């Protein structure tokens, strides 16, 4: 579980990151879950965008993806969400 201080730190790191994936009309599929899992392993912190035609809210999509990938929802702002999961092999973000 992330503390508010850790969330703030991760939000500041994510502000410079690009949005790397979009959730569209197909919603959350097994392929998307696998891709997000791989991205989290490689980067630890990823930013996603949920399109209006996905049929779900940004919060719902973020929580479903976080549960499926064992990640944590750092933030949900507008159409974007930020997910974090510590990498097993490529740890690069130090949380205090």
CB 55, CB 27: distance < 8 Å: yes
Residue 74 pLDDT greater than 90, yes or no: yes
Distance of alpha carbon 28 from alpha carbon 68, whole angstroms: 10
| pLDDT-above-90 percentage for the chain | 91
How far does Cα 47 stand from its chain's mean position?
A: 5
How buried is residue 44: exposed, middle or buried, by Cβ count under 10 Å (0-12/13-18/19+)?
buried
Give 25-70 pLDDT, tens digit per residue: 999 999 999 999 999 999 999 999 999 999 999 999 999 999 999 9
Backbone angles phi, psi at 7, to 5 degrees: -60, -45
pLDDT value, residue 27 = 94
pLDDT value, residue 76 = 97
Distance of alpha carbon 19 from alpha carbon 88, whole angstroms: 23
CATH classification for the domain delimited by 4-84, as one of 3.30.365.10, 3.30.70.260, 3.40.710.10, 3.30.110.60: 3.30.110.60
């Amino acid at each position: 579980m992330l503390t508010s201080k850790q969330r703030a730190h991760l939000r500041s790191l994510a502000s410079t990151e690009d949005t790397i994936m979009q959730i569209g009309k197909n919603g959350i599929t097994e392929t998307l879950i696998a891709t997000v899992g791989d991205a989290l392993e490689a980067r630890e912190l990823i930013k996603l965008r949920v399109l209006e035609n996905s049929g779900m809210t940004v919060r719902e999509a973020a929580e479903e993806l976080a549960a499926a990938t064992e990640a944590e929802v750092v933030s949900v702002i507008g159409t974007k969400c930020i997910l974090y999961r510590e990498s097993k092999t490529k740890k690069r973000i130090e949380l205090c």
